[in-house]
Structure 1
Amino acid sequence: MYQPKDSAKSPRFCGVRTFMRLEQIRTTDDVDFVVVGVPFDTAASYRTGQRNGPQHIRNFSVLLRPYNPDMDINIFDYCSGVDYGDVDVIPGNIHRTYDNMVEELTPIVEKGIIPIIMGGDHSITLGSLRAFYNQYGPIALVHFDSHGDTWDNYYGEKYMHGTPFRRAVEEGLLDVDHSIQVGMRGPLYSINDIEDARDLGFEVIPMREVRQIGFNEVMKRIHERVGDRPVFVTYDIDFVDPAYAPGTGTPEVGGPTSFEALEYVRGLDGLNIVGFDLVEVLPSYDSNEITAVLASSVMFEMITLTALKKKRKLLTKDTVVQGKEVNIQDSKY
């Protein structure tokens, strides 16, 4: 059973920095989740430096503790996890980086281990989806972002951080009928920047509509859209308003608060989540590390969902809780 060092016994400034002070070991034995960095940023279109995002998140994550009071669970009562380290990316070569990602993620995915992936720019998600496709076939996608990332190209280039989900649809990696994008906002080149995603098959809830219909309705639509399909959750930190997450490459005002940012992850409880990523953290623009605080907390909530899923499975094996059979899809949403 792998779990973090106890910071009541070992000061947080001691030892090599890993996510949440987990052991840094490449293993697929006796683990339910692994934290993986993909420090690639040469598909970014404006600000770069996202390659330093994984270590920046790790540096702050040492403040995380194992008990989640909002979800009422101690993660490591149910889960074992490690910091798996980073994929060996190839700076400037996105295709070889994708190949490395598939090679590194495949043994993790094949064993049903949940990878919690840190970018890197958003182009890396295409590599993750290729690995998941090899195991599950087309999977559902829940995408939190201020941009749809369904452009056909940037500067004539097909593989950039604004194009991964068009490529994923073209490659048949996604079950688009059960995929949804949430939070899109900001100035666009044309109406097609939103409508193209819908034409590809995604349900899209722009940020203005999020505010109009409210959190509970958004979560209801996510759950109804995804159903019981295996789902990958991708979370661009620029989904959050830059007042709460300034350390990113293409910030857009008018987004969620940090509290809301966490609630959107918590609200995914009950989905059949097989993997997560969090992308586009850019340390050089991160005033007082507030983006790292939020990013590490979002990942903590992602790991919490893994623990809740494991707890629910353990309870449903052969028990009845309080006179009612527990349903693995039970959720307050």
Structure 2
Amino acid sequence: MQRVNRPYVGIPSFLRAPICTDVSALDAAIAVFGVPFDEGSPFFPGSRMAPRTLREHSLRFCAGGHGYYDPRTRSEYLAEEMRDNLIADVGDVDIHPTNVERTFENITALTAAVLERGAMPVALGGDHSITDSILRAFDEKLHVIHLDAHTDFAPFEHDMQHTNGHAFRHVAALPTTLSLTQVGIRSLRHAPAQIEDVIDSGNRVVPINAFRELGPNGIADLLPDNSRVYVSIDVDVLDMSLTPGCVSAEPDGMSYADLRDTLKAIAQRHDVAGFDFVEVNPLLDVRTGVTSYLGALTVVEFLGQICAQPRWAARRLARPR
């Protein structure tokens, strides 16, 4: 008899996807993994718990295991991916508490193993210090689109370089980074160098006012058509009224529709090599877990848009078997 499988039963893998702890045997087109790390968050801990809550809330989108249906478009998304087990949950990066360098090496190693199997990595953070370790696993040149209230481009001062405020100074310096485009920037807690150094290095800062002038399609238009891109999504790109479970939330942010439509435009215009979603802090969230729910929704909808593109079928078929 077929199981009912309500969201509150069973082991909470992302979208109830098969769990594959031996990545060398991975036979999926998409590999979701958690990075339960928040030692890069200097203000308040707790985002290490987010991969678990994001998985739990993702189960609310598993109706019948046949993808999700969008009433606005009257279309179903991820149906084939979920039916044919093309999404796998490969577990969490092994965290070595207080040994940041070892943890970051583990992040790179797991991402590299996923890429070797021809799967697209989807990382659930954790704080935003993890992104450059993910990108170090790629051996191809990528444009990086970073959606955030903050540039995370802090100078390396006071012997600090691995906080969630430093990641994109590392990313911009990687030999595989073709360009860095930072969208939604608005926090008044930036030092001048955190903005001017991005621009002086030849990269883009798109503050929230400029985003509203460009719109979602305008953001996608900033790169040549069919660019290979990596996307890093900080939940605080959204307005703080939507994100009680985020320690670095800021006012005057994007609406959910702004973020959804921007990710859709990126998926339609460009070839997404991978993405991460970070900075949900379940310890601060309200009891219904709305920030975790919003995070799971963002990841699920972005995956749906990526897999709805014609280019996706060719990528799926080309992976090693």
Root mean square deviation of aligned Cα:
2.2
Q: What is the SS of the residue equivalent to 2:296?
A: helix
Letter in 2 for 1:301: E
Letter in 2 for 1:165: F
Work out whether 1:169 is the aligned partner of 2:180.
no
Task: Check conservation: 2:38, 2:48, Cα contact below 8 A.
Answer: yes
CA distance in 2, matches of 1:126, 1:256: 24
The corresponding residue for 1:284 is 283
Percent of residue pairs bearing the same amino acid type? 27
Question: How far 1:313 sits from its partner (Å)?
Answer: 3.4
The corresponding residue for 1:147 is 150
Work out whether 1:112 is the aligned partner of 2:118.
yes
Question: How far 1:105 sits from its partner (Å)?
Answer: 1.5
Letter in 2 for 1:204: V
The corresponding residue for 1:195 is 196
Task: Check conservation: 2:182, 2:204, Cα contact below 8 A.
Answer: yes
Larger % of strand: which?
A: 2
Letter in 2 for 1:215: P
CA distance in 1, matches of 2:182, 2:255: 18
Seen in structure 2, the aligned counterparts of structure 1 residues 160 and 283 have a Cα distance that, compared at 3 Å, is same
Question: How far 1:203 sits from its partner (Å)?
Answer: 1.4
Work out whether 1:261 is the aligned partner of 2:262.
no
Seen in structure 2, the aligned counterparts of structure 1 residues 189 and 303 have a Cα distance that, compared at 3 Å, is closer
Residues 215-249 of structure 1 show CA distances to partners (whole Å, capped at 9, x for unaligned) of 3323322xxx2543321110001111111112112
Task: Check conservation: 1:43, 1:160, Cα contact below 8 A.
Answer: yes
The corresponding residue for 1:329 is none
Task: Check conservation: 2:27, 2:117, Cα contact below 8 A.
Answer: no
Work out whether 1:296 is the aligned partner of 2:301.
no
Residues 171-320 of structure 1 correspond to what in structure 2 (within 5 A)? 171-176=174-179, 179-221=180-222, 225-270=223-268, 271-287=270-286, 288-309=288-309, 313=313
The corresponding residue for 2:8 is 13
Structure 1 stretches of at least 4 aligned residues deviating more than 4 Å after TM superposition = none
CA distance in 1, matches of 2:225, 2:162: 30
Question: How far 1:104 sits from its partner (Å)?
Answer: 1.4
Question: How far 1:253 sits from its partner (Å)?
Answer: 0.6
What residue ranges of structure 1 are gaps of 5+ in the alignment?
A: 1-5, 318-333
Seen in structure 2, the aligned counterparts of structure 1 residues 35 and 308 have a Cα distance that, compared at 3 Å, is same
Letter in 2 for 1:184: I
Question: How far 1:189 sits from its partner (Å)?
Answer: 4.4
Residues 47-86 of structure 1 correspond to what in structure 2 (within 5 A)? 47-65=44-62, 66-69=67-70, 72-78=75-81, 80-86=86-92
Seen in structure 2, the aligned counterparts of structure 1 residues 306 and 281 have a Cα distance that, compared at 3 Å, is same
Question: How far 1:154 sits from its partner (Å)?
Answer: 5.6
Task: Check conservation: 1:57, 1:295, Cα contact below 8 A.
Answer: yes
CA distance in 2, matches of 1:44, 1:68: 36
Question: How far 1:213 sits from its partner (Å)?
Answer: 3.4
Residues 34-53 of structure 1 correspond to what in structure 2 (within 5 A)? 34-53=31-50
Question: How far 1:122 sits from its partner (Å)?
Answer: 0.5
Q: What is the SS of the residue equivalent to 2:277?
A: strand
Task: Check conservation: 1:144, 1:236, Cα contact below 8 A.
Answer: yes
Residues 87-106 of structure 1 correspond to what in structure 2 (within 5 A)? 87-106=93-112
Question: How far 1:286 sits from its partner (Å)?
Answer: 1.1
Question: How far 1:293 sits from its partner (Å)?
Answer: 1.2
Deviates more, 1:282-291 or 1:65-74: 65-74
CA distance in 1, matches of 2:135, 2:280: 20
Residues 87-131 of structure 1 show CA distances to partners (whole Å, capped at 9, x for unaligned) of 101122221111111221212112321111001110100110101
Seen in structure 2, the aligned counterparts of structure 1 residues 154 and 263 have a Cα distance that, compared at 3 Å, is farther
CA distance in 1, matches of 2:246, 2:262: 19
CA distance in 1, matches of 2:54, 2:173: 32
Task: Check conservation: 2:217, 2:262, Cα contact below 8 A.
Answer: no
CA distance in 1, matches of 2:87, 2:150: 31
Residues 124-139 of structure 1 correspond to what in structure 2 (within 5 A)? 124-132=130-138, 135-136=139-140, 138-139=141-142
State the TM-score, normalized to the length of structure 1: 0.84
Task: Check conservation: 1:78, 1:310, Cα contact below 8 A.
Answer: no
CA distance in 2, matches of 1:250, 1:55: 20
CA distance in 2, matches of 1:122, 1:251: 13
Task: Check conservation: 1:37, 1:54, Cα contact below 8 A.
Answer: yes
